[in-house]
Amino acid sequence: MTKPDCGDLSADAWDEMNDPRPAESDFDRVVDAALSRRGFLSGLVAFGSGASVMGGLPGRGRAQGSSRFAFTPIASATDHTVQVPQGYTWDILVRWGDPLFPDAPALDQATGGDAGSALRVFGEATDGMESFVVDGRQLIAVNHEFANRRVNLPDASGGIPRDAADVRKLQKLQGVTVMEIAADSGRWQVVQGSPFTRRITHLTPVAFSGPAAGHDLLMTRADQTGRAGWGTFNNCGAGKTPWGTYLTCEENFNGYFGATGPNADVPAIVREGYKRYGIGATGWGYDYHKWDARFDISTSPNEPHRCGWVVEVDPSDPGSTPVKHTGLGRFKHENAEVVLASDGRVVVYMGDDERGEFLYRFVSDRIYMPGQPTEGLLDEGTLFVATFSEDGTGHWLPLTPESTGMANLAEVLMFARMAGSAVGATTMDRPEWVAVNPHKPEAYCCLTNNKHRGRKANAGGDDMTVNGPNPRETNKYGQIVRWRPEGGDHAADGFEWDLYVMAGNPEVYDNNYGGSDNITSGNMFHSPDGMAFDSTGLVWIQTDGDDSNTGEFAGMGNNQMLVGDPDTGEIARFLTGPKGCEVTGLCWSADRRSMFVGIQHPDAPFPDGEGLLPRSSIIVVRRLDGDTIG
Binding residue (CB under 6 A) for ligand FEO from 15, 145, 166, 287? 145
Q: How far is the CB of 334 from Ca ion (least distance, A)?
A: 6
- Quick one: which of 529, 546, 565, 570 contacts Ca ion (CB under 5 A)? 529
Q: How far is Cα 334 from Cα 354, in angstroms, rounded to an integer?
A: 10
The least distance separating ligand FEO from the CB of residue 145, rounded to whole angstroms, comes to: 6
Minimum distance of ligand FEO from residue 328's CB (angstroms): 16
Rounded to a whole number of angstroms, the minimum distance from the CB of residue 237 to Ca ion is 6
> In 9-152, which residue ranges form alpha helices assigned H by DSSP?
11-18, 27-43, 115-118, 149-152
> For residues 232 and 404, which CB has a smaller minimum distance to ligand FEO in the complex?
232
CA distance 411 to 383: 12
Judged by beta carbon distances under 5 to 8 A according to partner kind, the member of Ca ion, ligand FEO, none in contact with residue 124 is none
Query: Half-sphere exposure of 12 toward its Cβ, with a 13 Å CA cutoff?
Result: 17
- When asked if residue 180 is in the footprint of Ca ion (CB under 5 A), the reply is no
Site string for ligand FEO, 391-430 (x = CB under 6 A): ----------------------------------------
CB 104 within 8 A of CB 560: no
- What is the rounded distance in angstroms from the CA atom of residue 116 to the CA atom of residue 105? 10
Tell me the window of 178-186, 426-434, 512-520, 555-563 that interacts with Ca ion (CB under 5 A): 426-434
- Report the residue number, 252 or 518, with the smaller CB distance to Ca ion: 252
Query: Among residues 319, 301, 223, 208, which one has the least CA distance to residue 257?
Result: 301
By CB under 5 A, tell whether 314 contacts Ca ion: no
Spatial contact of 289 and 259, defined as CB atoms under 8 Å apart: yes
Query: In this complex, which beta carbon is closest to Ca ion, that of residue 296 or of residue 432?
Result: 432
Residues facing 239 on adjacent strands: 247
Strand partners, 199: 177
Rounded Cα–Cα distance for residues 468 and 79 (Å): 37
The amino acid at residue 1 is: M
Q: How far apart are CA 84 and CA 571, in angstroms?
A: 15
Residue 16 interacts, among ligand FEO, Ca ion, none and using kind-specific CB cut-offs from 5 to 8 Å, with: none
Alpha carbons 104 and 197: distance in angstroms, whole number = 13
Does 251 bind ligand FEO (CB under 6 A)? Our answer is yes
Helix (H) or strand (E) holding 402: helix 401-404
Residue 331 CA to residue 370 CA, distance in Å, equals: 30
Smallest distance, ligand FEO to C-beta of residue 353, A? 3
Of 392, 304, 313, 308, give the one whose Cα is nearest residue 357. 308
Amino acid letter, residue 319 = G
> Which of the residues 428 through 457 are near ligand FEO (CB under 6 A)?
432
- Measure the CA–CA gap between 595 and 577, rounded to whole angstroms: 15
Among 94, 107, 217, 236, binds ligand FEO (CB under 6 A): 236
Q: Which of 98, 314, 334, 379 binds ligand FEO (CB under 6 A)?
A: 334
Site for Ca ion contains 544 (CB under 5 A): yes
Q: At closest approach, how far in Å is the CB of 114 from ligand FEO?
A: 27
Total number of residues binding ligand FEO (CB under 6 A)?
7
Q: Does 15 bind Ca ion (CB under 5 A)?
A: no
Task: Please identify the residue of the shown chain whose CB is closest to the bound Ca ion.
Answer: 544
| Amino acid (1-letter code) at residue 579 | K
CA 491/CA 344 separation, integer angstroms: 10
Q: Taking contact as CB under 5 A, which single stretch among the options 82-90, 259-267, 419-427, 537-545 is the one that binds Ca ion?
A: 537-545
- Kindly state the smallest distance separating residue 432's Cβ from ligand FEO, in Å: 5
Contacting positions for ligand FEO (CB under 6 A): 1, 145, 236, 251, 334, 353, 432
Contacting positions for Ca ion (CB under 5 A): 432, 448, 529, 544
